[in-house]
Chain A
């Protein structure tokens, strides 16, 4: 069953802690993306990777970090430097124009 998975679905952290969100795909897609979505808003690109061991900053990369050591995996770390980390985080992958999205992780930082 091919697809893209994100875990966990809900995540709670205290302010000042780093947290890592998981994203895995078995679609054999080269490109992977991380987006942030705030209530009632569209998606904003955090980071993206077009190939293993390479990634680029998106529009709102400050306070986030990523790695792409394997084609299947693109974890996102939300660091304590991110001033307003509470949001819904979506991972996507693509091979061409269309993007395939995971179910998302809702992160709440208090």
Chain B
């Protein structure tokens, strides 16, 4: 069963706009991670936020975590065509934190 579910499934924006993706999960976690996947490629780790953190920044990325609502959001500011990719959230499995459970992903298309 999948722990994380992203919303929306797909998102199309113009270059320069901001893109927001949301992730909901089911059980308590100690961290949540976001990954990016370009078409036909492997995943690349973007950012990890721990359960005691509410917000984290990395360059143009801003991640928030609301453990009371079991949700996280990924904001990409001033998007570029090169940001076109699928974005996945991942959470450790509750009783085996060596295993990550990935959501279904948000496909982001940024038009130049």
Give residues in A with beta carbon < 8 Å to B: 6, 31, 35, 40-43, 45, 48, 50, 58, 88, 90, 92, 94, 97-104, 106
Contact = CB atoms under 8 A, between A and B. Distances in A.
Contacts of A97: 31, 33, 48, 92
A43 B48 contact: no
Contacts of A41: 104-105
Contacts, number: 51
Contact of A101 (B44, B92, B105): B44
B41 interface: yes
B11 interface: no
A45 B92 CA distance: 12
A88 B41 CA distance: 9
29 contacts: A6-B42, A40-B107, A41-B104, A42-B2, A42-B4, A42-B88, A42-B102, A42-B105, A43-B43, A43-B88, A45-B99, A48-B98, A88-B40, A90-B42, A90-B43, A92-B43, A97-B31, A97-B33, A97-B92, A99-B43, A99-B90, A99-B100, A101-B42, A101-B43, A101-B44, A102-B42, A103-B42, A104-B41, A104-B42
B45 A50 contact: no
Interface in B18-56: 31, 33, 40-45, 48
A106 B40 contact: yes
B43 to A, nearest CB: 4
A31 B102 contact: no
Interface string B75-99: 0000000000000101010000011
